[in-house]
Structure 1
C-alpha cells in the first residue's frame, strides 16, 4: 500500500472571512501545517472572538469534501453545527452525504450511557441508520464494522477535552489503524482543544498502556484531535498498523489559536460526557481525574464532578494545607458533599472544591499532584485504588499517570516539585516532537 502524501483539495470557504479570519485551506494534510499557518490572517485575541469548527466549515461548503463516497461517521452529541444540530442528522437530511453507518464511542452516539458504558449496536430511530458500538472495539472489530457497513471514508467529529485518559482519542486511534488495514480515507472535522495548546504532565510508557492511554503521549497533550491524528499517523501507525494512512484530511477550525480556551471561543459547550458539564470541568480534569486512582471521590454524582474532591475521612485540614501552597490560578474551598452515585454514594464526604480563578495561570496537572501529596501526608486512610482484574498492574493511578513513578514518589514522601521535575525532560522531548504536526498558531 502506498504511503505517499496525497494531494489535497485547496478550496477556500467564503464564510471563513466573515468569521474574522482569512479563509484557510478546507483540508489540511500531513504537509500542510506550515502553509496553513502562513495563509491564516491574524485574528484579534480576546473574549467572544469568532471560531468556526471544521464541521461548520464542511457544512458551509455543502459537504462537498464527502460527496460521492460512502461515509462512516464516528461522533456523539458533541458533533454539532453552530445551530446545535448533530452532523449525522444534518448530513442525512441534506441528501448530500451517503452515510454507510454511524460509530458510537464511550457513552454512545446519542450520549445515553454512563462512564465505562455504551449504547450497543442499534438502528437509530431518527435517521434509520445503523449505529455500531465502537467503544472498546479492537482493530479487528473496528475493521469488521467498517467492512460490514461498506465504508469508503471514515469521518471523526467528537469534541475532545485535551487529556490522555479521555477515551475518544483512543477510539480515533483504533479507527485510524482499521482505516490503514482497509485502505480507507480518514477525515477529521476538527474542533478546538478546550484547555488550550500547552502540553503538561508525565509521559505514558508502553508497559502501562490501556484504554485510558493507548500510546505514548503526555497527560495533557495540548493538541486538537486533527493535530493528534497527524501525530498518530506520523509517529505510531507505521509501527503498530504496518503503514500510514494513504489519505488523512483535517478540515481545520478557523479563528482558533493555541492559547484560546473554550470559554473564549464563542462556541456553545456541549457536554462531551455525563460528568463533563462545563468547560471549567475540562480545565480541571487533566489533574483531578487522577483521584479516580485513589479511594477519594472525584465528585461523580455531584453537580461539580472533578471540582469537588473528598471522602468521609477528609476534614478541614486538606483545604487549609492546599491554600498554604499558593498554587497559581486556583483556590480551594473547604466543602462537604453527598454523592448520588459512584464512590461513597449516600455518604457525607469532606473535601475541597477546586475553583479556577485565573484560567491562563492554572496548571491542572501540577494542581492535581499537590492535592495527592497533601492528601497522602494528612490522612492514614488515603489509599490507591486497586483493580482485581489486572493483577500484573493493579493500581489504576499507574494507568492514569503512565507508570509506577508518580505513585511510588508520593508514597516515598516526595514533594510536588520533585514529582514535576521527574517528568520535565520527557515532556520537553514530547513537546519538540509534536511541533511538526501542529496546525494552529
Structure 2
C-alpha cells in the first residue's frame, strides 16, 4: 500500500506518526490524494489539526507568517499556539499587514502587537523575505494565510520568499493548508518569466487551481527557489477536501475582497488596476463594479471616496462615475468580456485604456494578452492561444496535488 493510501485509512495516532516520519526525512506530505479518517466527513483546515503539527513546534522557537485569516474557529493561530505554550519568537506580516488593515500597496511597518506584545516584522516593506538576522533566533517557520487562487494575489509571492529564506537558512517550514475558493478553475496565460514580479513569481496560469500547500510543494519540487533541496517542507493538509467544493471564506482575505462575489470576480477585474477605471475601491462593493466618469457601458452610478482599505486615492476618488453593477452577476473563473468590451469603448472614444501597459503585462504575466486585445482578437481566440500551455501545466502540477 502506498503512503497516500495509508493516509487515507490511518487512525489519528497513525496519521500523526506518518507526519512526523515524513518531516524527519525532510519531505512534504504525500502528493496524491489526502483524506481524513472515515469517521469524519467535515472539511478541516490544516491549522485545526493540532495533533499533526504541535509536536513539530514543541520546545522550538517559532516564526509565523500570518495575517487576520489565520484563524481556527474564530481564534487566531497566534492565540491558539500561545494557549498551547508554543514559544512564538516573531510574527512576519505580508501585504495588508498582520491585522489586514493596510491598503493595497501600502508599506507595512515593523511593530509590536498590542495584544500579545510579540514583535511583528514586515515582509511588505524594506524586505520581502526575512533577513538572516531576523531568523537568527528561530528554529521552525510556519505559514498560514488564506489565499484566493489568483496568481497576482501577493500572498503566494510572500510564500515564495518565505520558502527561499527557510531554504537558505536551513530552517524547517510548515505550511498549514487552506481551501482555494477558485480551485475549480485553471485558466489564463501562463506567466512568462520575462514578466516576473511580485504580482507574478511563478510560471503558472492566472488561475492555477491549487491550494497554497500544493503550490508550496510545486515551488520546492520544481526548484523555483534557490537551494530547494535544503528546504525541509511539511504540509499539514486539509481533511475531507475536494477542489470542486464551494468554499466561503470565514474572514475577508484583504480589505477590498469583502465577500464571495468579490473573490469570484477578482480574476476578471484585477486587470482593470492597469486602467483609469474604477472597480469599486473606495465603495462598499470593491471588485464588484466597473465604472468611468466620461463614458460608460451601463448606468449604475457610484462615487469612490477615501475609506479604510482604500485611503490611498482610489481611482476616480470623489468623482461620480457610471458603469456596471456586477453584485448579482453569476461569475465563475476568468471572464475576459469585461476587459474587451471596455477596451472597445475606449477605442471608440480615442481614449487610452491601458494607462500602465507595463503593469498590465505584469498582471497578465505576459504582453500577449494586452496585444491580443489591442489587435481585436475575440475572447474565444485569446483563450485558444493558452490551451497548449495550460495542458502542459496540468501535467506538470500533477505530482504535487494533494486533493481530488
Q: How does 1:346-425 map to 2 (within 5 A)?
A: 346-355=318-327, 357-358=329-330, 362-386=332-356, 395-425=358-388
The correspondence of residues 219-234 of structure 1 with structure 2, limited to 5 A, is 219-234=206-221
Alignment coverage as a number of residue pairs = 386
Q: Structure 2 length normalisation: TM-score?
A: 0.87
Q: Structure 1: any 5+ residue segments left out of the alignment? A: 1-8, 16-21, 45-49, 320-333, 387-393
Is 2:271 the counterpart of 1:297?
no
Deviation at 1:349, TM superposition (A): 1.0
> Paired residue for 1:328?
none
The answer to whether 1:120 aligns with 2:101 is no
> What is the CA-CA distance between 1:163 and the residue it aligns to?
0.5
Show the counterpart of 1:326.
Answer: none
1:174 aligned to which of 138, 161, 167: 161
**Secondary structure of the equivalent of 2:324?**
strand
Name the structure 2 match of 1:438: 401
Q: How far apart are residue 435 of structure 1 and its match? A: 1.3
Q: Deviations over 1:19-76 (max 9, x none)?
A: xxx9996678546122635x765987xxxxx321111112x66822321211100000
For residues 120 and 56 of structure 2, what CA distance do their matches in structure 1 show? 22
Q: For residue 130 of structure 2, what is the aligned residue in structure 1?
A: 142
What's the CA shift for 1:292?
0.4
Distance 1:378 1:30, change over 3 A: farther
**2:310 corresponding residue in structure 1:** none
TM-score, normalising length from structure 1?
0.80
Q: Which moved more, 1:162-171 or 1:85-94?
A: 85-94
Q: 1:410 to 1:165 in 2, by over 3 A?
A: same
Relative to 1, partners in 2 of residues 1:114 and 1:35: Cα closer, same or farther, differing over 3 Å? closer
Q: Deviations over 1:251-296 (max 9, x none)?
A: 1111210111213xxxx52011110101221111011111001111
Output aligned runs, 1:27-46, within 5 Å: 29-30=27-28, 32-34=30-32, 36=34, 41=38
Q: Could you say if the C-alpha distance between residues 365 and 401 of structure 1 is closer, same or farther in structure 2, counting changes exceeding 3 Å?
A: farther
Question: For residues 217 and 55 of structure 1, do their structure 2 counterparts lie closer, same or farther at Cα, with a shift above 3 Å needed?
Answer: same
Aligned to 1:132: 121
- In structure 2, do the counterparts of structure 1 residues 153 and 337 end up closer, same or farther at CA, with 3 Å as the change threshold? same
Matching residue within 44, 60, 74 for 1:52: 44
Distance 1:432 1:375, change over 3 A: farther
Deviation (angstroms), 1:354: 2.1
Task: Provide the secondary structure at the position in 1 that maps to 2:79.
Answer: helix
Asked if the contact 1:72/1:101 (under 8 Å) is kept, the reply is: yes
Q: Secondary structure at the match of 2:90?
A: strand
Residue 93 of structure 1, aligned match among 63, 83, 89: 83
* Aligned-residue RMSD, C-alpha: 2.9
Q: 2:293 is matched with which residue: 280, 295, 312?
A: 312
Distance across 2 between alignment mates of 1:435 and 1:314: 46
2:67 aligned to which of 76, 98, 108: 76
Kept in 1: contact 2:12–2:37 (CA 8 A): no
Q: CA contact under 8 A between 1:366 and 1:420: conserved in structure 2?
A: no
Shift in alpha-carbon separation, 1:368–1:260, aligned structure 2, 3 A: farther
Cα distance in 1, alignment partners of residues 39 and 229 from structure 2: 33
CA-CA distance at 1:160 after TM superposition? 0.3
Distance 1:381 1:24 in 2: 63
Give per-residue Cα distances to partners, 1:302-350, cap 9 Å, x unaligned: 11111111111233xx25xxxxxxxxxxxxxx42211113010111111
Alignment CA distance shift 1:262-1:368 (3 Å): farther
Partner SS state of residue 277, structure 1: coil
How far does residue 209 in structure 1 lie from its aligned partner after superposition? 0.9
Q: Could you say if the C-alpha distance between residues 296 and 254 of structure 1 is closer, same or farther in structure 2, counting changes exceeding 3 Å?
A: same
| Structure 2 unaligned residues grouped into runs of 5+ | 1-6, 307-313
How much has 1:396 moved relative to structure 2?
1.1
- Provide the C-alpha distance between the structure 2 equivalents of 1:62 and 1:208, rounded to a whole number of angstroms: 37
Aligned partners of 2:185 and 2:333 also within 8 Å: no
Whole-angstrom distance in 2 between the partners of 1:422 and 1:282: 25
Separation of aligned partners in 2, 1:421 and 1:43: 42
Matched residue of 1:280: which SS?
A: helix
DSSP-derived class of the 1:201 partner:
strand
